[in-house]
């Protein structure tokens, strides 16, 4: 791997939240000649990177090309992921939504005449949040990993300029630790629904499993999501929704009030104490 001459960039990490996590992670960046300048600005703004002109032999690195920013893992087979909202599986999911309301929307209390304010406290690459925003819901997306956050805002920018500006404009991404953010927003500004999709080490679909492995290599497996879950339950006015693998144990061992179970995924729904959910 060669460092591209004169291209080393060490960006600053800007925080929207006073208590956002620190990071000392520096990832190699391989930028193609046709890299979208907006993707490179996102990298500069959010991440510490060192620019190279060829991919490393092993480990994680970022690429920027005309399709946007991607996180990659060198090796065999190479794996990569980017936030992609309008093509592939996610594009199909959005197109299908016109015919069939997804279980996630029902779980979050979105329906005829009901459009709750939702906080997606584990935003990741924003796929679930995009589906919810496509139904008309207003969402705040919280993501604590600066790398995942940079991928997310790069994907949202591309989706906005690719014809989905109405959906994207309902999504407010914030780089923040959700446990702290929720504790700070309990009093006057509490959301109706808090949605959680924490990392789960169990089985997932093969394709999703590859991306999950990549995400885990980047952010690690949290020791416990109990604090986040507790902060969500203390903050939500109406409900907390937890996405789990169909056979996974309930988050923090707390049985939900009810569940919506699909082929591979389950949504556990917890009524907020004193909330409006019947
Ligand atoms: C399984 S992914 C979520 C995937 C997402 N639902 C989607 O549709 O793309 C979990 C994400 O939650 C983030 N996360 C975990 N704990 C968090 C916390 N306390 N605050 C903010 N983000 C958190 C991780 O960095 C990771 O990106």
Higher pLDDT, 243 or 115: 243
Calculate what percentage of the chain has a pLDDT beyond 90. Answer: 62
Residue 30: which pLDDT band, with cuts at 50, 70 and 90?
Answer: very high
User: Highest mean pLDDT: which of 41-55, 71-85, 138-152?
Assistant: 138-152
What the block records as the tokens of 267 is 């949504």
Q: Where are the domains of the chain?
A: 88-271
Q: How many whole angstroms separate alpha carbon 79 and alpha carbon 60? A: 10
Residue nearest to atom 15 of ligand 1 (CA): 122
The DSSP-derived string for 152-196 is HHHHHHHHIIIIIHHHHTTEEEEES-HHHHHHHTSSSS--SEEEE
The answer to pTM > 0.95 is no
Which of 122, 228, 229 has most ligand 1 atoms within 8 Å of CB, for mutation?
122
Whether residue 140 has its Cβ less than 6 Å from ligand 1: no
Distances (CA, A) of 252 to 101, 116, 138, 230, 255: 29, 25, 28, 9, 9
What pLDDT was estimated at residue 76?
78
Model confidence at 150: pLDDT above 90 = yes
Residue nearest to atom 2 of ligand 1 (CA): 124
Task: Supply the CATH classification number for the domain 88-271.
Answer: 3.40.50.150
């Amino acid at each position: 791997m060669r460092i591209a001459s004169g291209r080393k960039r060490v960006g600053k990490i800007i925080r929207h939240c006073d208590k956002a996590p620190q990071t000392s992670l520096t990832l190699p960046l391989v930028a193609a000649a046709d890299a979208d300048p907006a993707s490179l600005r996102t990298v500069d703004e959010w991440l510490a990177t060192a620019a190279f002109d060829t991919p490393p032999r092993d480990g994680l690195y970022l690429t920027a090309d005309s399709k946007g920013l991607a996180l990659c893992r060198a090796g065999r087979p190479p794996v990569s992921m980017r936030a992609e909202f309008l093509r592939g599986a996610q594009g199909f999911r959005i197109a299908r939504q016109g015919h069939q309301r997804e279980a996630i929307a029902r779980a979050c209390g979105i329906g005829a005449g009901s459009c709750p304010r939702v906080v997606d406290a584990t935003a990741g690459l924003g796929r679930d949040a995009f589906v919810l925003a496509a139904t008309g819901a207003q969402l705040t997306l919280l993501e604590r990993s600066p790398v995942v956050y940079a991928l997310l805002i790069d994907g949202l920018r591309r989706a906005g300029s690719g014809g989905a500006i109405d959906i994207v404009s309902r999504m407010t991404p914030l780089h923040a630790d959700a446990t702290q953010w929720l504790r700070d927003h309990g009093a006057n500004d509490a959301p109706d629904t808090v949605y959680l999709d924490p990392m789960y080490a169990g089985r997932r679909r093969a394709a999703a499993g590859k991306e999950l492995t990549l995400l885990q290599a980047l952010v690690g497996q949290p020791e416990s999501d109990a604090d986040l879950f507790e902060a969500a339950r203390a903050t939500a006015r109406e409900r907390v929704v937890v996405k789990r693998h169909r056979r996974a144990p309930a988050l923090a061992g707390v049985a939900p009030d009810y569940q919506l179970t699909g082929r591979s995924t389950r949504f556990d729904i917890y009524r907020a104490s004193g909330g409006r959910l019947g």
